[in-house]
Amino acid sequence: MKNDITKIRMDFPILSEKIYGKPLVYFDNAATTQKPRIVIDTINEYYSKYNANIHRGVHFLSNFTTTATENARETIRKFINAGSHDEIIFTRGTTEAINLVAFSFGEAFISEGDEIIVSEMEHHSNIVPWQMLCERKKAVLKVIPFDDNGNLETEKLNNLISDRTKLISVTQVSNALGTINPVEDIIKTAHLKNIPVLIDGAQAAQHIKVDVQKLNCDFYVFSGHKIYGPTGIGVLYGKKELLNQMPPYQGGGEMISKVTFAKTTFNELPFKFEAGTPNYIDTIALAKAIEYIENTGLDKIEKYESELLEYATTKIKTLDWIKITGEAKHKSSVLSFVMDGIHPSDAGVLLDQMGIAIRTGTHCAEPVMQHFGITGTARASFAFYNTFEEVDKLIEGLKRVKQMFG
Ligand code: PMP
């Protein structure tokens, strides 16, 4: 893969841009990834040539775009190996997908005194919707802790589970620590007690091959914009038998079967959960992003990104004034760190002047910061279009930051 990087980078127009006259070094991939030309061109092409509202037209354009949207659903079904296209629901992103489950699963299955388990390393998107549900239903939120290296203490899960546990919702990869969690084990443990599990794949699906049937998770969610697709589109996978028992999340067009003022009946899956005009053009472009990474090869991507992470980790460890936050046994493309006497945002601003984009702050994971008693970290996050030379630039940049701060 190393030899293909120059060619791969040419597929991503933004990577040739200059920031303050310097070549862009983009290390903020956990926040959002850049888009290959095929994604940008697809959006342009559909708005230029094929735009029409889907699912209800009799004319050529509507039918054309409807077919493309449903083909995109099939591409995504295959990508995560879901059993049926009925199990693929389009949302605005991971956040909306989790809110959908928290609301609809909550309405169907949660009562006063029931318990939901999340982990201490969740993104706010996988905490707050459950807190809101618990507030609404007078249910209880329990938390699986992680150790100081960032490994989830899954051995504590059995003690947290009770006969009131109704759902476990955990991230496959932490956006703040990079930890890859043993979600297969969590799912097996939960299923022994018939507890469904939601996996937040926002930081996983772009790095690790996902097979929802093999994982046997009950729900799986991810965002298009983190997997080289457009913003405003995401995916909820849910097992049919659960989705069928859950009420709609929003009411409106398309999610109904028949409407009268006396009674409304709802559409079948997946449309029951897709109220209103869907984001069909970004759906079609998301499928192009997925085809792009499948053609590149997720196994190659995973291998190359781990080499990049290992290289960056080894290099950053030579700087004795930097401490990595999160050194779990299994990690994905995230390198979070704190610096002696330098605030992460000061370092971020100075690196930006050098054309290097990293993220600083809490990464929407404040409980992770509370665990370490820090206010934030600096985070470099990698994608397969990043290079070893760019990592060298980051290290040189950090050395200059240190010099500037004396
Ligand atoms: N979960 C994780 C682990 C994330 O990293 C993110 C995005 N940073 C989200 C959820 C939320 O994703 P989105 O903002 O695309 O809905």
Judgement on whether residues 305 and 289 belong to the same structural domain of the protein: no
pLDDT of the residue at 74:
98
pLDDT above 80: residue 92: yes
Question: Which residues, at least 6 apart from 265, have a Cβ–Cβ distance to it below 8 Å?
Answer: 256, 257, 258
Work out the number of other CB atoms within 10 angstroms of the CB of residue 224.
Answer: 32
d(CA 229, CA 223): 8
Find the residues whose C-beta lies inside 6 A of ligand 1.
Answer: 93-95, 123, 125-126, 171, 175, 200, 202-203, 223, 364
173 and 245 share one domain: yes
User: Is pLDDT above 90 for 113?
Assistant: yes
* Residue bearing tokens 């998770």: 217
Residue 330 lies in a domain: yes
Residue 272 and residue 353 in one domain? no
- Is residue 325 domain-shared with residue 304, that is, in the same domain? yes
**DSSP at 269:** T
- Residue 367 has a pLDDT of 98
Average predicted confidence (pLDDT) for the chain: 97
Pocket of ligand 1, candidates 173, 210, 364: which has the most ligand atoms within 8 Å of its Cβ, to mutate? 364
Contacts for 48 with CB less than 8 Å, ≥ 6 apart: none
Q: Which of 33, 121, 122, 123 to mutate to test the pocket of ligand 1 (most atoms within 8 A of CB)?
A: 123
Which atom of ligand 1 is found nearest the CA of 364? 8
Supply the residues annotated as catalytic: 364
Structure confidence by residue, pLDDT tens digits, 282-306: 999 999 999 999 999 999 999 999 9
Peptide bond into 270 cis (omega under 30): yes
pLDDT tens per residue across span 385-400: 999 999 999 999 999 9
**What is the per-residue pLDDT across 33-66, written as a single tens digit (0 to 9) for each?**
999 999 999 999 999 999 999 998 899 999 999 9
Please report, rounded to a whole number, the percentage of residues in the chain having pLDDT higher than 70. Answer: 100
Position 50 scores a pLDDT of: 98
Statement: residue 15 has pLDDT above 80: yes
Q: Tell me the CA distances in angstroms from 236 to 11, 233, 239, one per residue in order.
A: 28, 10, 10
Q: Quick one: which atom of ligand 1 is closest to the CA of 226?
A: 15
> What is the pLDDT at residue 127?
98
Output the CA 79–ligand 1 centroid distance in Å. Answer: 19
Q: Measuring CA to CA, which residue among 361, 350, 338, 324 is closest to residue 405?
A: 350
The domain of 249 spans 40-294
Residue at a domain's end among 279, 294, 309: 294
Give me 125's structure tokens: 């998107």
115-119/377-381 β-pairing: unpaired
Band (pLDDT 50/70/90 cuts) for residue 3 is confident
pLDDT category at 1 given cuts 50, 70, 90 is confident
The CATH number covering residue 61 comes to 3.40.640.10
Residue 181 corresponds to which tokens in the numbers above?
A: 């969690």
Q: What is the total count of domains within the chain?
A: 2
Write down the pLDDT at residue 302.
97
* Position 151 pLDDT exceeds 90: yes
Give the angle subtended at the CA of 397 by the CAs of 393 and 403, to the nearest 5°: 150
| 35 found inside a domain | no
